[in-house]
Every structure is written in structure tokens, then in C-alpha cells.
Amino acid sequence: MESTELRRRLADHSVAVLATVSPGGKPHAVPICYALDGDSIYFAVDHKPKRTPDLRRLDNIAANPAVAVLVQHYEHDWDRLWWVRVDGTARIVEDAGQRSRAIELLIDRYSQYRQHPPDGVVVAITIHRLSGWSST
């Protein structure tokens, strides 16, 4: 797929899997809601119940900011399969203006956030590489 198509599918899809690596080298993957803005992907820690506020994904990013984000489409009709992977560098957003912009993007994208905007940590992922595959 060409870069334009990869970005379109990334922008149109609503759920991704974030892959990080622990300080000990163990992979960790979790689903995320995200917003694409230029060469950045944003996600936030939201109000959905978590077992602990000390999230492994955030600890992993602090130890090793290299991450991957995967969006995919699966159907039993294998002629319609596709996936897009982002390789990038993640960081906690400290700048108040950038944080507000990320929250606005997430609120615009997910109706659930309109009533309860994310109030936790916001993470920005700088996109270094897009790759993907499509059966068509």
C-alpha cells in the first residue's frame, strides 16, 4: 500500500493495539483509542476502569520509547484483510497546549469522551515509519 492509503486506513480505523517493551525485554500489547494528527498519534489514559493507576504501558515508554501501533481489519473473507503498522517514538505530553489539542482530537473522534474527557496522561507517538499489507 502507498503512504496515502496507509494514512487513510489509520485515520479511518478507531481502535489500535499499542505494543511496548518492558525494561526486562518483555513485550506488552494493549488496545488504545487514538487520534492521528500529522505525523503524530495521540492516546490518553481515560476513565475506563484499570487495575492500577501505574500502567505498564507508561512504565515501558519511560524505559524504552520505541513503540509500534497496529490497526487491522479481519473478516472471514480473507480477500478483504488488511493491516497498518506504525513504528514510532512515544513520549508523555508535558506541554499544556499540545495536551489540550490531543484531548480535543480525541473528543472529536470518540463520542464517549464528550461526556467524560480523558483526564489522565496523554502520550504522543511520533511516526517514523508506516508499513502495511492488504489482500487487495
Record: fold of 3-134? Pnp Oxidase; Chain A (2.30.110)
- For the chain, how long is the longest CA-to-CA vector? 45
Query: 136: pLDDT confidence band, cut at 50, 70 and 90?
Result: confident
pLDDT at 48: 57
Query: 52: pLDDT confidence band, cut at 50, 70 and 90?
Result: low
For residue range 113-134, what is the model confidence (pLDDT) as tens digits?
Answer: 999 999 889 999 999 999 999 9
pLDDT at 55: 86
pLDDT value at 47 more than 80: no
Beta strand segments in 15-121, E: 15-21, 27-33, 35-37, 40-44, 66-73, 82-92
pTM for the predicted model, two decimal places: 0.92
d(CA 25, CA 66): 12
For residue range 18-38, what is the model confidence (pLDDT) as tens digits?
Answer: 999 999 999 999 999 999 999
Residue ranges covered by each domain of the chain: 3-134
